[in-house]
Amino acid sequence: MDHKELLKRVDHTLLSQTATWEEVQALCDEGMAYETASGCIPPRYVKRAADYVKGRLKICTVVGFPNGYSTPEVKVFETEDAIRNGADEIDMVMDIGLAKAGDWEGVLEEIKAVKASCNGHILKVIVEACQLTQEEKVAVCRVVSMSGADFIKTSTGFASGGATVEDVKLFRENISPDVRVKAAGGIRTFEQAQAMLDAGADRIGASALVALYRQEG
């Protein structure tokens, strides 16, 4: 895929703890200039960014990030707050502890609660694949498919591992056809991004690809 076209599949991301408004503003400028799928930014900056881009770039933010172990009520509040502030898309971290315990009903109910609070906006569920066994990955695909979420997302980028082609293929094979796949974490080249798309990803989470494209130009 042409690199300019590939950028349209990218959530241009800045989730560093040290991110400043000036850096977020620059990310928004790049996202608008290169027509990325969204700008994925910390909740603190959502309102300011939404006011700044005035609809010219989708604003994505994170909920329960990066550990996923806040209560469902807190995740629902974060989601509602983000949408009030102008977020278009929500990337939530599922409760990985519940998944490890096999409490799939608890995982499902939490995702459904967050999806309901999205009020029609896109919800991506970050499952932190590097923390899961193969059996747990298959089970989480089933749960996300049942939840009404729009995407399953591989990783936060803050754990010990990121997206892999193998996980993307596994997710593609085990989620329902109406659920899309976002590959994120450690994708730093167009070759890596293309491999994820070829494996079945629909969206890429990355922080480095816009800069690479600019260097090419």
pLDDT digits (tens, 9 = 90+) for 165-214: 999 999 999 999 999 999 999 999 999 999 999 999 999 999 999 999 99
Instruction: Tell me if residue 74 falls in helix, strand or coil.
Output: helix
Count Cβ atoms within 10 A of the Cβ of residue 105 and give its class: 0-12 exposed, 13-18 middle, 19 or more buried.
exposed
pTM of the model: 0.98
Cis link prior to 66 (omega < 30° from 0)? yes
pLDDT tens digit string along 43-64? Answer: 999 999 999 999 999 999 999 9
Alpha-carbon span 153 to 147, nearest angstrom: 14
| Of 25, 17, 15, 7, the residue nearest 197 (C-alpha) | 7
Does residue 153 carry a catalytic annotation?
A: yes
> Phi-psi region for residue 192, left (φ > 0), alpha (ψ -120 to 50) or beta?
alpha
Alpha-carbon span 21 to 36, nearest angstrom: 19
The mean per-residue pLDDT over the stretch 69-79 comes to 98
Does residue 8 carry a catalytic annotation?
A: no
Give percent of the chain with pLDDT exceeding 90.
99
35 pLDDT band, cuts 50/70/90, is: very high
Instruction: Tell me if residue 145 falls in helix, strand or coil.
Output: helix
Q: What per-residue confidence (pLDDT) applies to 217?
A: 73
| Catalytic entry in 11, 88, 153, 167 | 153
Tell me the residue ranges of DSSP E strands in 151-193.
151-153, 180-184
| Catalytic entry in 58, 124, 137, 182 | 182
- Per the CB < 8 A criterion, the answer to whether 184 and 163 are in contact is yes
The mean per-residue pLDDT over the stretch 120-135 comes to 98
Mean pLDDT taken over the chain: 98
Domains in the chain with CATH codes: 3-123+187-216 (3.20.20.70)
The mean per-residue pLDDT over the stretch 61-86 comes to 98
Does residue 115 carry a catalytic annotation?
A: no
| Catalytic entry in 11, 91, 150, 167 | 91
